[in-house]
Amino acid sequence: METVVLVMMIVVCFNYLLKQTWRKPYSVAFSAVVSGLFVGLAWPWAIEQSKNQIGAWLADSALMLDLAVILTLEVALQMTFCVVAAHIHTAGHVKPSVVWIYRLLRWFPGLLIFPVLFSLLVASIFALPGVSFPLVAWALAAVVAAVVPLGRWALKQLLPEKEIRLELLFLSNALIAILGIIATVNGRTAVAGNSKVDWAALGGVAILVVAGLCCGAAAYRVKMRRMNKKLK
């Protein structure tokens, strides 16, 4: 479980930096300052934590399910940004409402980065016993504030194409969603196993799938006929 959470935290950090490549420089500077201040001011709460308490949080099923809700909402917003951005860059004309949705979602950097930064602060304090807590916190805050713009610059140099960065942002969010499911399930199953097959339900699903395929094929043919008539 700890390994899954660690991988998810790394992906969250990468996703946060990748999202900064779509934002204006002043927005990136604002995000860097906010992240640095959060790390620097959170040390009074960080020193109250312990490894046993963090392990208990990871083993708490109710808490992990609550976090799953936040994770799902953030992933949904980030994926919506990817879809809207792709639509704007490929469509010839878009509605003003779509442009406003794109601008709002571009401003949203993500909230999962704050629990990750808090965990990093706790780990830094544990790794540096005997060092002043405020010194560790503000030193880490300075590092975080510098890494955000530098990471954005490095990603833009490594991936100059916006389309590739957009696809990578979408895939990284999908990976976060998958890891979040694994982490929040925590060895439990939502329902008891059943070896019997409900043939009525299976047949209903098959009928719905076939009906959807038929409707989609019919709609495609009608659309192609209209386009051919316009060309003629």
CA 149 to chain centre: 19
pTM: 0.70
- Model pLDDT for residues 144-180, shown as the tens digit of each residue: 999 999 999 998 888 888 888 888 888 888 888 887 7
As a 3-state breakdown, the chain gives helix, strand, coil percent values, each rounded to 5, of 80, 0, 20
How confident is the model over 202-213, as a mean pLDDT?
Answer: 87
Distances (CA, A) of 102 to 26, 78, 107, 108, 181: 18, 11, 9, 10, 27
Query: What residue spans define the domains of the chain?
Result: 2-185, 200-232
Q: Is the pLDDT of residue 113 over 80?
A: yes
Q: Ramachandran region of residue 48, left (φ > 0), alpha (ψ -120 to 50) or beta?
A: alpha
pLDDT(116) > 50: yes
Residue 143 burial (C-beta neighbours within 10 Å; 0-12, 13-18, 19+):
middle
Contact between 125 and 133 (Cβ < 8 Å): yes
- The total of other beta-carbon atoms located within 10 Å of residue 206's CB is 10
d(CA 122, CA 39): 10
Among residues 1, 136, 123, 128, the alpha carbon closest in space to that of 60 is found at 1
